[in-house]
Amino acid sequence: MAASPEVVLVRHGETEWSKTGQHTSRTDLPLTTTGEHQARQLGNLLAGRPFAPVLTSPLRRAWQTAELAGFGVAERVDDLRELDYGDYEGRTTAEIRQDVPGWTVWSGVLPGGETLADAAARADRVIERLRASQGPALVFGHGHMLRILAARWCGLPPEAGAQFALDPASISVLGYERTTPVIRSWNNALDLLAGQR
């Protein structure tokens, strides 16, 4: 099988809950004013590059980032929605640990939510599509789901996403070294990228 071109991952810009560290899956928050500014800056960095396909989570913070970045044509793909945190929606890790000491998304249970295996299955479906694409792909999504997608791209279990910190309004690139799936760059923060232009 021939290696497909690179995949550029973009985590959405700032929301009120990303600012405070609250777990956000189903709650369909808009970007903050700062998040809107970040999305436009991302657009400046991505401008002029041909992407096919351009995909986004159907949640507002992701598709709004895509639109403000100049990719309003992005296809909304349900498999890219954020990991479902269930009963922990809107709570911070510190708050959850008051009830469940040592809890993490990666090693704990999400009561009423989704398992990492279920999220990995969604990621695998997206990856299958990305690997079949003919050009470089662009994906707008969420912190935990993009980390799971990167882990699965490299053939790792979804729990390996724990090692891939991902900030809002960051750009990462998946690709190949010869035929081996690799992470070409990761969590390039917007301020650092802007300084490289």
Q: Which residues are catalytic?
A: 12, 82
Within a 13 Å sphere around the CA of 159, how many CA atoms are in the beta-carbon half? 5
List the structure tokens of 10. Answer: 């973009």
Strand partners, 188: 171
- Report which of 197, 173, 177, 196 is spatially closest to residue 187, judged by C-alpha positions: 173
- Judging by beta carbons within 10 Å of its beta carbon (0-12, 13-18, 19+), is residue 128 exposed, middle or buried? exposed
